[in-house]
A and B are shown apart, each in its own frame.
Chain A
Amino acid sequence: MTDLSRYEEFAEALEMIDDEEMRFEYIIDLGRQYERDDPFPQEWKIETNLMHGCMSKVWIVDDVDDDGRHHFRGHSDAIIVNGLVGMMTEAFSGLTGAELQTITVDHVRRLNLGALTTQRQVGMMAMLKHLQKLGRGNGAMAGAENHDDHS
């Protein structure tokens, strides 16, 4: 059973804010909060962790536990993107490689809710694909190729 409880918390929190401007500020606050409470280690900001093709720098690290579950940490040098990366990596951490492949564009859309422009939505989809790539890259998840076409 795919545990998406953290994802649901984010989606519900965003749904409760009915003003677009407020949702935008929520993402900014989130970005600032991650930076303050759980700063991304400087030594992780290296080329191998860099996600290419972003307007701001985005680093994502993947730690796989003994059960084959992926625990992501992400960071961006732009606060808004940091909020989005933090939300995405937290929402989809704790999943197996195979479970990660079942996450679709619809999941990501619920984290948008109009607060974000198309460009950022595209950025979030790119992040999901990156997480899924990391998920596939690990031997712990046999059969993931069967679930490869969800985005």
Chain B
Amino acid sequence: MTMAKVATDRIDQTAALDVAAARADFPILKETVYGRPLVYLDSAASAQKPRAVLDAVQEAYEKRYSNVHRGAHRLSQLATDAFEEARETVARFINARSADEIIFTRNATEAINLVAASYGRTFLAAGDEIVLTEMEHHANIVPWQLLRDQIGVVLRIVPIDDDGVLRLDSLAALFGPRTRLVAVTHCSNVLGTVNPVQEIVRLAHDHGVPVVVDGSQGIVHAGADMQAMDADFYAFTGHKLYGPSGIGVLYGKQDLLERMPPYQGGGEMIDHVSFAKTTFKTPPHRFEAGTPPIVQAIGLAAAVRYVSALGMDAIRAHEQALLAEATAALEQVGGVRIFGRAPGKAAIISFLVGSLHPYDVAAVLDRDGVAVRVGQHCAEPLMARLGVDGTARASFALYNDGTDVEALVKAIHKAKRLLG
């Protein structure tokens, strides 16, 4: 909390990001790997945590930890206040109309599963259609497939073009009398493509169809304003946004949440229980069965305050500059093939080096302390569309700089030398 204050004092929100100062906020970046400085380019899988988050978590456990919403004692009240303040902080961050529209989950996956299970099973029926895209993460595919297997909905898939841009014309053409839901990612975790979600929402709403947005990457790289976007549901996870693992968020429009039945049952989410009948709390607590991720929520709020203090626009500008630099540098390396060329894409670069297996490339990079992800990135249908078994992926965050790009390129040259 105090660190967030320091960050606010230190950095003018309209100013460019002071990357050196930001790097110093992340203790793990001082670590070495095999005796070499850590070059962390796997933030799209999970981002590192600033001191402000670590301190908030530590402080919560040390000074005001208790269960929430139930104790008659002082500590419980402090913990409850901090937990509910975290909800308000998140609500402000995404410009929700009310903190009641913020449901804390374990992660984005659980948030989407909640929509599929609660909204899907209540408002959808056999033969109804859900529109997905070719670039979805498994987290925004499998919950809908489970729903399909349970109640017989039909999944319709919007294709992408060769640059990794969503085919909006195809999306528009898919709307029919049975279309009931659109589930689309804000930003592809493989291609970096930032989808025009506002436009997609408008199009869907013109057909009376609600939209679920997977914001796992989008919230980090593009930011999200719920009132401007007008999405009906927006899911994201804390750990990619520099917060702790084990905390996710489902934003849902209040009128929808109020009409939805509970996702899981248990303590915390009920009003009255008897063996004959149980009544449930109003949202968001209706959807938070059991002891919630209390400290994780407090940590997420610290992360939100941290990035807000740095300025989302400043972070985005920095990442865009880094993306341009990295893309240009990789193009100089002979044989590097980049997947995803959408205009305005986020700082996520999936690539292959000649005919080298991405696993081999990543293993050589790892020996140089360069951490990248390799494989199918939980997006097997997209890999099939791209015609590859997998890729290596370098993803950039607010704490990366030009030296990281240099280290990446140097290690790729080494991989070519060793493996070629």
Contact = CB atoms under 8 A, between A and B. Distances in A.
Interface of A: 20-21, 24-25, 28, 55-57, 77-81, 117, 120
Nearest to B368: A21
A117 B359 contact: no
Contacts of A120: 363
B360 to A, nearest CB: 5
Given A80-B363, A81-B360, 4 more contacts: A25-B418, A77-B357, A80-B359, A80-B360
Contacts of A25: 418
B374 interface: yes
Contacts of A117: 363, 366
Contact of A56 (B359, B366, B419): B359
A56 B392 CA distance: 12
A148 B419 CA distance: 38
A135 B60 CA distance: 53
B162 interface: no
A9 to B, nearest CB: 24
Nearest to A56: B359
Contacts of A28: 360, 418-419
B34 interface: yes
A57 B359 CA distance: 10
Contacts of A80: 359-360, 363
Among B34, B363, B366, B418, find the residue whose CB has the most chain A CB atoms closer than 10 A: B363
A8 to B, nearest CB: 26
Contacts of B366: 117
Contacts of B419: 28, 79
Contacts of B359: 55-56, 78, 80-81
A57 B367 CA distance: 22
A81 B357 CA distance: 10
Interface in B367-402: 367, 374-375, 389-390
A77 B390 CA distance: 12
Among A56, A77, A117, find the residue whose CB has the most chain B CB atoms closer than 10 A: A56
B183 to A, nearest CB: 28
Contacts of B357: 56, 77-79
22 contacts: A20-B34, A21-B367, A24-B367, A25-B418, A28-B360, A28-B419, A55-B359, A55-B375, A55-B390, A56-B357, A56-B359, A77-B389, A78-B357, A78-B363, A79-B357, A79-B360, A80-B359, A80-B360, A81-B359, A81-B360, A117-B363, A117-B366
